Amino acid sequence: MSNNEELLKQVTAKAEKWLTPAYDADTRADVRRMLDAEDKTELIESFYKDLEFGTGGLRGIMGAGSNRMNIYTVGAATQGLCNYLNKQFTSLKQISVAIGYDCRNNSRKFSEISANIFSGNNIKVYLFDDLRPTPELSFAIRHLGCQSGINITASHNPKEYNGYKAYWDDGAQVLAPHDTGIIKEVEKVADPSQIKFKGNPELIQIIGADIDKEYLDAVHTVSINPDAIKRQHDLKIVYTPIHGTGVRIIPASLKLWGFDNVTTVPEQMVISGDFPTVVSPNPEEPAALSLAIEKAKEIDADLVEASDPDADRIGLAIKNDKGEWILVNGNQTCLLFLYYIITNYKANKLVKGNEYIVKTIVTTEVIRKIAEKNNLEMMDVYTGFKWIAREILLAEGKKKYIGGGEESYGFLAEDFCRDKDSVSACSLMAEIAAWAKDNGKTLFELIQEIYITYGFSKEKGVSVVKKGKSGAEEIKQMMTNFRNSPLKEIGGSPVVLWKDYQTLKQTDAQGNVTDLVMPETSNVLQYFTADETKVSVRPSGTEPKIKFYIEVKGTLVPGKWDAANAAADVKIEAVKKSLGI
């Protein structure tokens, strides 16, 4: 029997179990359709594995099957989490959780089913009355003293996807040892009969406006320069939620901060899991901001801001020195935030000497230069905001967190949330624009000022997509090849340092091997060259792709922005050639 025949046999046997009365009629009909179809691709993709409850929770395409997001995979995840919570908190009279969800199709349904399962397991539930940003869920967990929480969201993935993020009592996504503990419990839930779908309404409390007020008041405390806002209160801001959860709360936050000239994008204020105006609801994609930029041209705005569907990440567009609208990437956004916070902390004599900032290992090294020049502690962590949250937890009561971010458009300016926050980010970025204008500068000039002071860098992310089972195997092989045959030079410059986060070893040009101090291993490789180029390679944890993060260095002379960028682009192309991408 060939491998394909064997796989089809296994998949068919697995799918047939979903035809039993344990599954609802719609699910059974969908599975029957896949079994009867001549083309078995959908059947194989839906059942060739179980949708894995990983350290980031669940994320997958919606539909029937063990490898899909549906009430049974979500139900198993929730039941497993319930079992873990009930084992962990035996001394508590009442365990409680908070549940949030975004604009995606089935998000409300999955959140209500989860609420029933939690309550059916004697766990009190605080369920939001409507869609809310991810950071507000993080805030609610801490504010309400919950032991855990979940958020139904697939962030910026295409519309076919949904996801399930699990949070712990500090308001951050779960980390060791709880992540693996929960995974083990989820894996034990092998059949729908083990899931307590029948809820206890007495244990479900609907929350909403009360938490909004507490959260918005807390976000307002992030403001550093209220006087600059008073003088620039009519700054023209265009904002779009890209059909998602920022729709009401970000305009409300901007208003609370004192901005009274905010224009929204009507077509994208429509809440929809189909994201009708965009191909991808991702603020990293230029097309996602095109309608907002059109609106900005129409009203001659100062600033364009966007949030992704679960409103944890910020997208930004500004005018350059020619009056053209340009997108600001995640690295530049992070630089703007940290430069502003540090500059104003020093100017307002707020520095006590125990402040620190955090970035992820794939985020620009210019942040390191800023920290070094300002005698500020900087921590470098893995990709994923839970690692930034971990540093905040470890330093709690000892050091002061003043900001942390990542190249993928996430920033957190506060510690009362423990996940990236576009609500505070959009509000603070508007304040930065107001402060710059107050000082006779534009945000474009501010970015140049940072690069002239701390060194110019340009970053390029390249994602190689490999779908399905065969794609996953290809990605695995690519990582093996990079690991077994380390690159000696990149873009014409010799590699002087090579880091393998899977073995937690780093090797320099002389062959000296030293340890990398990190909380756990991760499938990431990094190369640093003599000309300060940095290349990071890792498989995505949420999408079928392998990601390359390229950063090259250069010099920015005042007034020569285009020349610095053009030189960097040439370097980037040479790097891509060395990597074979």
DSSP 580: T
Number of domains in the chain: 3
Inside any domain, residue 19: no
- Among 426, 453, 480, residue at a domain's last position: 453
pLDDT at site 272: 97
Task: CATH number of the domain at 549, please.
Answer: 3.30.310
pLDDT tens for each residue of 109-164: 999 999 999 999 999 999 999 999 999 999 999 999 999 999 999 998 899 999 99
Q: For a pLDDT cut of 70, what percent of the chain falls above it?
A: 99
**Beta bridge mates, 305:** 239, 316
Which of 152, 182, 207 represents a domain boundary (last residue)? 207
d(CA 210, CA 98): 14
- Among residues 96, 119, 155, 422, the one annotated as catalytic is 155
Tell me, what DSSP letter sits at residue 165? Answer: E
Q: What is the structure's pLDDT at 224?
A: 96
Last residue of a domain, one of 207, 228, 249: 207
pLDDT in tens, 322-356: 999 999 999 999 999 999 999 999 999 999 999 99
Rounded CA gap, 172 and 519, in Å?
16
Judgement on whether residues 312 and 433 belong to the same structural domain of the protein: yes
Reported residue count of the chain is 581
Enter the pTM of the model. 0.95
Interval 88-114 mean pLDDT:
98
Retrieve residue 388's tokens: 């930034």
What number is the average pLDDT over the span 550-555?
Answer: 96
Q: Is 34 within 8 Å of 15 (Cβ atoms)?
A: yes
Rounded to the nearest 10 degrees, the angle between the axes of helix 366-373 and helix 330-347 is 10
Q: Once rounded to an integer, what is the mean pLDDT over residues 514-519? A: 96
- In angstroms, the CA 501 to CA 387 distance is 15
Q: Cβ(377)–Cβ(546) under 8 Å?
A: no
Supply the DSSP symbol for 28: H
Task: Compute the average pLDDT of residues 239-267.
Answer: 98
Q: Given pLDDT bands bounded at 50, 70 and 90, which one contains residue 576?
A: very high
Cβ neighbours of residue 29 closer than 8 Å, sequence gap 6 or more:
none
Distance CA 112, CA 348 (A): 47
- Rounded to 10 degrees, what is the CA torsion of 296, 298, 299, 302? 30
Instruction: For the chain, give the mean pLDDT.
Output: 95
71-88 vs 107-120: helix crossing angle, rounded to 10: 40
Q: Which residues contact 505 (CB under 8 A, 6 or more apart)?
A: 499, 513, 514, 515, 516
Helices within 283-383 (DSSP H only):
290-299, 330-347, 366-373
| 233 and 331 assigned to the same domain | yes
Q: At what angle do helices 71-88 and 178-188 cross, to 10 degrees?
A: 120
Band of residue 1 on the pLDDT scale cut at 50, 70, 90: very low
238: exposed, middle or buried (Cβ count in 10 Å: 0-12, 13-18, 19+): buried
Is residue 30 in some structural domain?
Answer: no
Q: Are residues 471 and 401 in the same domain?
A: no
In whole angstroms, give the CA distance from residue 132 to residue 214: 14
Same domain, yes or no, for 220 and 290? yes
CATH number of residue 367's parent domain? 3.40.120.10
Q: What does the alpha-carbon distance between residue 518 and residue 20 come to, in Å, rounded to a whole number? A: 47
Q: Helix, strand, or coil here: 157?
A: coil
Q: pLDDT grade, residue 542 (50/70/90)?
A: low
Nearest to 292 by CA among 310, 278, 313: 278
For residue 16, being part of any structural domain is answered with no
Q: Is beta strand 314-319 parallel, antiparallel or unpaired with respect to 303-307?
A: antiparallel
Predicted confidence (pLDDT) at residue 278 exceeds the cutoff of 90: yes
Considering the domain architecture, whether residues 440 and 502 belong to the same structural domain is answered as no
Q: Could you read off the pLDDT of 356-412 as tens digits, one per residue?
A: 999 999 999 999 999 999 999 999 999 999 999 999 999 999 999 999 999 999 999
Q: How far apart are CA 132 and CA 212, in angstroms?
A: 9
Domain that holds residue 97: 49-207
Range 156-159, long-range pairs (CB < 8 A, 24+ positions): 156/280, 156/281, 156/282, 156/283, 156/284, 156/308, 156/309, 156/313, 157/59, 157/542, 157/543, 158/280, 159/104, 159/105, 159/273, 159/274, 159/275, 159/281
- The answer to whether residue 99 sits within a structural domain is yes
**Is 155 noted as a catalytic residue in this protein?**
yes
Counting Cα atoms < 13 Å in the Cβ hemisphere of 136 gives 33
Q: Are residues 183 and 248 in the same domain?
A: no
In a domain, 118, yes or no: yes
Largest Cα separation within the chain, whole Å, is: 76
Q: Does 354 lie in the same domain as 381?
A: yes
pLDDT in tens, 195-232: 999 999 999 999 999 999 999 999 999 999 999 999 99
Same domain, 202 and 105: yes
Q: What number of other Cβ atoms are within 10 A of residue 470's Cβ? A: 9
Whether 252 shows a pLDDT value over 50: the answer reads yes
> Is 435 in the same domain as 341?
yes
Residues 321 and 420 reside in one and the same domain: yes
Say whether both 240 and 192 belong to one domain: no
Give a yes or no: residue 164 inside a domain.
yes
Query: pLDDT per residue over 34-68, tens digit each?
Result: 999 999 999 999 999 999 887 778 999 999 999 99
Torsion, CA 203, CA 209, CA 214, CA 216, rounded to 10: 140
Does residue 366 lie in a domain region? yes
Same domain, 202 and 231: no
Residue 29 lies in a domain: no
pLDDT in tens, 420-468: 999 999 999 999 999 999 999 999 999 999 999 999 999 999 998 887 7
φ, ψ for residue 449, nearest 5 deg: -60, -40
